[in-house]
Homo-oligomer: A and B are copies of this chain.
Amino acid sequence: MHVALLQYIRNLSVTPLEHEDVALIKEAFVYKCIRKKEFLLKEGDVCRYIGFIIKGAIRQYTVDKKGNEHMQNLCIENWWTADRESFHNQTPSIYNIDAWEDTELLLLPKANRYYERVNNIPAFREMRIRLDDNNHIATQYRLHSSINHTAEHRYEDLMNRYPEFAQRFPQHIIASYIGITKETLSRIRNQSVRGKL
Q: Are A137 and B84 within 8 A (Cβ)?
A: yes
Q: Nearest chain-B residue to A131 (Cβ)?
A: B132
Is A171 in the interface zone, CB < 8 Å from B?
Answer: no
Q: Kindly list 5 other residue pairs between chains A and B, CB separation below 8 angstroms, not including A72-B143, A84-B140, A85-B140.
A: A62-B148, A70-B148, A128-B129, A139-B139, A146-B179
Is A189 in the interface zone, CB < 8 Å from B?
Answer: no
**A and B contact pairs by CB, cutoff 8 A, 6 listed:** A62-B144, A70-B144, A88-B137, A136-B139, A139-B139, A142-B143
Q: Are A70 and B147 within 8 A (Cβ)?
A: yes
For A148, the chain B residues whose CB sits under 8 A away are: 62, 64, 70, 179
Is A112 in the interface zone, CB < 8 Å from B?
Answer: no
Q: What's the least CB distance linking A91 to chain B, in Å?
A: 11
Q: Which residues 45-84 of A have a CB within 8 angstroms of B?
A: 62, 64, 70, 72, 84
Q: Are B135 and A136 within 8 A (Cβ)?
A: yes
Q: Nearest chain-B residue to A176 (Cβ)?
A: B147
For A139, the chain B residues whose CB sits under 8 A away are: 136, 139-140, 143
